[in-house]
Amino acid sequence: MTASPTVDKTNSRHSRSRIARAGRSLRPVKLPPPQNQVLLEHAEKRAQNAQNRIADRITTFAGSMAFVYIHIIWFGCWIGFGVEKYPFGLLTMIVSLEAIFLSTFVMISQNRAEAKRQVLADEQWRTVREEDGQNKQLLTLSSEQDHQNNELLGLSNQILALTKEVHTFARQAASRTGN
């Protein structure tokens, strides 16, 4: 008799974990917020419009497994409880209207994704232009530095030549004085 409470605890633990997993699979996947500052600003700007927020929630839900499961249960109950007789004209009309609206929300979602891609592309293009300007400045500075290095090399050669001349004169003076 002592074994059955242990089995019950184990079974209840497994049941709770299955229920938790089922609950997680029914909820739409919540994506982490974007890390790119430009995308954050775009999302904030988009969230200011109530229509955008509603459309985002609908497309998030319609793209989830919870949406699929609800429809399986709904269609099963509709047919199983005999809400209407075959060929299910009302159900067909409801599903057709839902398909029309969902296709519109899919297009809205695609437009939203395209707007995000455009924001990113614009930001990347701005970055490329800034880097191009910086590269041009670096090339100009490098060219100026090359010119300065050439001048320094010329001056160093002149100093070397003058130093050699000074040594030559010093040797000649030393040889004349007899040292």
Cα angle 131, 118, 44 (rounded to 5 degrees) comes to 100
In this prediction, residue 29 carries a pLDDT of: 65
In this prediction, residue 5 carries a pLDDT of: 47
Ranges of H-type helices in 27-88: 37-47, 50-62, 65-80
- Furthest-apart CA atoms within the chain: distance in Å: 134
In this prediction, residue 60 carries a pLDDT of: 86
In this prediction, residue 42 carries a pLDDT of: 80
Token pair recorded at residue 60: 């998030």
In this prediction, residue 15 carries a pLDDT of: 61
What count of other Cβ atoms lies within 10 Å of the Cβ of residue 32?
5
The pTM assigned to this predicted structure is 0.52
State the 10-residue block means of pLDDT for the chain, 179 residues long. 49 62 63 74 83 86 91 94 92 94 89 88 91 94 94 95 94 83
Q: Are 115 and 42 a contacting pair, CB within 8 Å?
A: yes
Among all chains, which residue has been given the structure tokens 């590269």?
135
In this prediction, residue 152 carries a pLDDT of: 95
Domain ranges in the chain are 37-113, 125-179
